[in-house]
Amino acid sequence: MAERVFTLPDLGEGLEEAIVSAWLVAEGDTVSLNQPFVEIETAKATVEVPAPFAGRVARLHVAAGETLAVGAPLATFEVVGGDGTGGRHAGSSSPASSVPPGVIGGDGSPSSAPARPSVAATPAVRKLAKDLGVDLAMVSGSGPGGRVTREDVERAANESSAGSTHEIALDEPGEHVSRGTTVDAVPLSLTRRAIADRLSEVAAIPAVTTFRTVDCTALEAVRADLDVSPLPVVVRALAEVCRDHPRLNAAWDGDRILVFHEVRVGIAIDTAAGLVVPVIPDVGSLGVGEIAAEIARLAGAARGNALTRDDTVGPTIAVTNTGSYGSEFGTPLLNPGHAVTIALGVIEPRALVIDGSVQARPACTLSLTFDHRVLDGATVGRAFGALVELIESRERLDALAR
């Protein structure tokens, strides 16, 4: 049998590193081609990686919970005849002797993670353990055949909750921390670190935010007829406006401006791990109902750590629903790669002047943040006005694809 090394592949656009969330096999186990053998957590999603070879797992190069760079050895397989790929190529097909420096142990042999026993648990229990930070290998299963149950995981989490954060005394406090203050030091997740890195890039964008009050009488009527939230109606209306005002759907690219033909809307979704922005592609080709279904699917996948690479790549414009948590309006940030982010504030009764008289009507504040390198204020004002006019028109909303 020959040894084949599989390196961590690039699971997403620009991925540099990822966390080995959980091993689904142990050293010595036999695997079939395409059998899921490891869970990898990136800043955007947790994915199961299929085995690139059929054979025996000879070595796990890192322990669960460790961070690994793209291209670094992940696992070594023993395959019959030196090829178990069935025509597929792994991230690396070099033998173990060619493992690069940095993964060589002190005895000169390739380093390996300690063999971890296989744990009997359902996928739902495995996910619960990961969410609660419980190592299943350390849990005694009370189920049939030693299977770990939900109650076992919850009990283990409760027993270790006192040590879930590290309490430290700041002997040398920072500028804004009082001397002697005691704090909880919370390690950064990949998602939180990615958000922080991205916001550092965002700070360099010359962004401006403008606001409009919108009479939502027509919007509320249409969304009630379709049995959807206001968000998919606004997203579909935005795609319509982008046809007449294409600079909304654009991006700064150093020495040029890219104007995209396809409207790919990023939807900001709050998850336990932080904010993620999955993407609805080609919104202009979808009906309001289809957009609503896709938002629901993406939200479920985001909160279940099940987004795929295709779910997160290439937004050309973004929308965030700040009204979902009662906010009247916000100043949404831009992500590098698109020039406009729109925030939908809470819809509630407001006093509006209609035909010279004050009336209580459902209304909201729309916020639009734009990259001033791509768009001027007057251009944005015309496009924003067109969006407001569409949202306030029952006839035009009814004409949108359902």
**Active-site annotation, residues:** 372, 376
Please give the Cα distance from 42 to 36 (Å, whole number): 17
Task: State which H helix or E strand residue 48 sits in.
Answer: strand 46-50
DSSP H/E element including 296: helix 288-303
**Helical H segments across 148-189, by residue range:** 150-160
Give the span between the Cα atoms of 4 and 73, in whole angstroms: 10
Token pair of 273 as six digits: 């791990």
- Cα–Cα–Cα angle for 152, 157, 160, nearest 5°? 125
Spatial distance between the Cα atoms of 43 and 58, rounded to a whole number of angstroms: 29
Per-position DSSP letters for 80-119, written without gaps between them: GGG--STT---S----GGGPPTTSB-TTSSBP-PPP----
**Beta partners for residue 269, in sequence order:** 276
| β-pair type (265-267, 317-320) | parallel
Q: Residue 26: which of 63, 4, 57 has the closest Cα? A: 57
